[in-house]
Structure 1
Amino acid sequence: MANCAAEITWLVGLFKELGVSIELPIKMVCDSKAAIQIVANPIFHERTKHIDIDCHFVREKICQGLIKTEFTHTKDQLADLLTKSLGKAQHQLLLSDMGVMNFLNHELEGEC
């Protein structure tokens, strides 16, 4: 989450310098409820000491209104398309969610 928050921070700064307006907060989806709760909870426990710095960074970006975290089920995680071996149905579902079309199976409409 910290790497994603850092990338979002960099991109928002780049867009601002280029004069491109973007709608804030940026939605950051995660398939781990535990990670979302750790970022949202200001109280740290013994088991979360190793993620202290990353957690503070993400929480700071949330408080600034730059990002908001949202849970997504593992089956709906678009990144799985590029990182995991999926069945045909799940592969097709995630491709369509990304907006990827197979032009070999579809006829194009309209005139040239």
Structure 2
Amino acid sequence: MENSKRGSIPMQDNLRLSKSQGASTPAELKRMQNVPYTSAVAEYIATYDASKESVWVRKFISGLGVVPTIEDPINMYCDNTGAITIANESGITKGSRHFCAKVHYLREVIEYGDIKLEKVYTDDNLADPFTKALAFPKH
């Protein structure tokens, strides 16, 4: 990173929001209220996909018999608290029924100790530096 060139990030600095940019109809408001849930579901499905690959790699390495098997759980990091909550809580909520098989699979591999799901905060997330605006210091 020391020898890298400064690049431009196509994001607007000092963006101002107003009430006129918000929902103007009840239907639009209802749709906007579902955005956090939809985000958690998308993160959960991405975590599910990554867990399948992690478990496959773990079993593949064990099956080779060339190297020692992986005894400790594979650490997986997720930056969405909602997705972590869905994975760690027991029971299926009304909203998570449409991806029920994924919920059960991920909970099962966590319970068996194949993977360990951990929270990674935005400041520590190596995948996030160029996905968010940089302009404001945190309070």
Give yes or no for the alignment of 1:3 onto 2:52: no
CA distance in 2 between partners of 1:75 and 1:51 (Å)? 30
Q: Secondary structure at the match of 1:70?
A: strand
Q: Does 1:26 align with 2:50?
A: no
State the match for 1:13 in structure 2.
59
Q: Counterpart in 1 of 2:31?
A: none
Instruction: Indicate which of 92, 95, 98 corresponds to 1:50.
Output: 98
How far has the Cα of 1:68 moved from its partner? Answer: 0.9
Q: Larger radius of gyration, structure 1 or 2? A: 2
Q: By how many angstroms is 1:76 displaced?
A: 1.6
CA distance in 2, matches of 1:66, 1:46: 27
- Any unmatched runs of 5+ in structure 1? 88-112
Which structure 2 residues correspond to residues 1-112 of structure 1 after superposition, within 5 A? 1-19=47-65, 20-21=67-68, 22-80=70-128, 84=131
Identity of aligned residues (%): 34
The alpha-carbon deviation at position 59 of structure 1 amounts to 0.5
Number of paired residues?
A: 86
In terms of mean alpha carbon deviation, does 26-35 or 16-25 score higher?
A: 16-25
Task: For 1:84, give the aligned amino acid.
Answer: T
Q: Runs of 4 or more off by more than 4 Å in structure 1? A: none
Q: Any stretches of 5+ residues in structure 2 without a counterpart?
A: 1-46, 135-139
Residues 75-109 of structure 1, C-alpha deviations (whole Å, 9 max, x = no match): 2222235x73675xxxxxxxxxxxxxxxxxxxxxx
TM-score normalised per structure 2? 0.55
Which structure: greater helix fraction?
1
Over the aligned positions, Cα root-mean-square deviation in angstroms equals 1.9
Taking the aligned partners of 2:98 and 2:122, their CA distance within structure 1 comes to 25
